[in-house]
Structure 1
């Protein structure tokens, strides 16, 4: 049965009850699959495009979950925040495993594919940077990439202005009288619920760190030490960021125990 425009939710999404919507209509599969069609006419073009498109879909979900977790923490809704953070960490590890598909592209095949990419590069992913800023990356001004799209520039500027997940955690900790994170980790923690949030944040941080490391290795396996298509220094740039952490204070607390 045809879905009418009036049946759509904001953004054009089809609600389950809309006029007998089919699986394909509900998920907008025609549009989703069509988005993978304009790929370079080259052996591994579809693999390269699909992997990166799926990355961006997962990035979108992570942003949604982190926003909700941040708001939950500010509201003191700890169980809801944990629910969101634990899902985020699972998705982080999905991103790591997804790189295995990318490394099926041989160096010779990517050499033939690269001219088709022009200046397009994962270095330009705005959602990737949004995740880092929203998580609470201390150095939020790394890199030299500035989006050409004014809307993308505005999105990044907004992320830099708004509170991060880390800000929300610190607000929660202060509200519960916890100012010493080392004490939080000692045996018989002063606040078990707060400790669970801290460890959920660590799970997210660890997953993202593993993605950075695995991504750097995957890129080096495919292109060696060549510069990136988007103007970065390639593997050198990726390696320079491998030791970054969203929540360095949580990592440092382990050292000071």
Structure 2
């Protein structure tokens, strides 16, 4: 336990003498600010781990949006080698994101209940993470009703509406496949991007062709890179479900829906669906 009042050394209250020994490291990474962002409300041993892990997750959501947004632009530019590098980094970020659960994966209901009591009845639910919503929209999991929790914050709501209506990374990949002469139907490329994507047999057949035809080696590599992203993201959602089952059970959560059932329904959604279903006939 640190004995000095390091959390009270806020930049706006520190004297010139207290901050005169600052370094480039402290300034560039805003270390003082970072260590004043956690405000435990209980004496529960796991609360600091919960707060910091949740904040780290939020930072990774932002990083993943940055990378996947870059990958989407690279797909539009037909720059497959650049996309592969970006998706390789993304997989590493997803591994790190999954590891954030380890800080409190053994938390029990007795550890969690005091924290949950301070969060209120849904007011601080993880469904209110707008950056996570940006992330899943980029991955193609469109859900218009998920904008509702943010209606009272116009700027956030507007940004989410724009992300909902924009093509996902997978939408852009399907357009790339069509540009390369593969039989991707127009209905998969020209559609209302705000609506959930529905898998199509013709798209599955196009992926099968990619994997069988040696002239599409770069697209096959792209398919495998996307599959890795989907796999690592699925592992994170599985870990979320497991931690919730262990700490929360099936108590009512968001909109009074049993928490585990609600998470399980989301966890069952497949990212980049035809990349998985095509393997049956490859």
TM normalised by structure 2 equals 0.78
**2:131 aligned residue:** 127
**Gap runs ≥5 in structure 2:** 1-21, 184-205
Shift of 1:74: 0.5
- Counterpart contact for 2:147–2:157, Cα < 8 Å: no
Structure 1, unpaired ranges of 5+: 1-19
Q: Residues 162 and 143 from structure 1, CA distance in 2 versus in 1: closer, same or farther, beyond 3 angstroms?
A: closer
Superposed, which structure 2 residues align to 1:23-102 within 5 Å? 23-36=25-38, 38-43=39-44, 44-102=46-104
Query: Could you say what secondary structure the match of 2:267 adopts?
Result: coil
Aligned to 1:104, what secondary structure does the other structure show? coil
Q: Which portions of structure 1, spanning 4 or more consecutive aligned residues, are displaced by more than 4 angstroms?
A: 142-145, 229-232
CA drift of 1:140 comes to 2.7
Evaluate the alpha carbon distance shift between residue 144 and residue 129 of structure 1 in structure 2; reply closer, same or farther with a 3 A threshold. closer
Aligned equivalent of 2:214 = 189
Corresponding position: 1:161 with 2:148: no
Tell whether the 8 Å contact from 2:74 to 2:82 is kept in structure 1 after alignment: yes
* SS at 1:146 equivalent: helix
For residue 267 of structure 2, what is the aligned residue in structure 1?
A: 242
The residue that corresponds to 1:13 in the other structure is none
Structure 1 residues 230 and 110 mapped into 2: Cα distance closer, same or farther (>3 Å)? farther
Sort the Cα spacing of 1:71 and 1:143 in 2 relative to 1 into closer, same or farther, 3 A: closer
| Aligned Cα root-mean-square deviation (Å) | 1.9
Q: Partners in 2 of 1:22 and 1:171 — Cα distance?
A: 45
TM-score, normalised by the number of residues in structure 1:
0.85
The reply to whether residue 199 of structure 1 matches residue 224 of structure 2 is: yes
* Structure of higher CA gyration radius: 2
Distance 1:150 1:209 in 2: 31
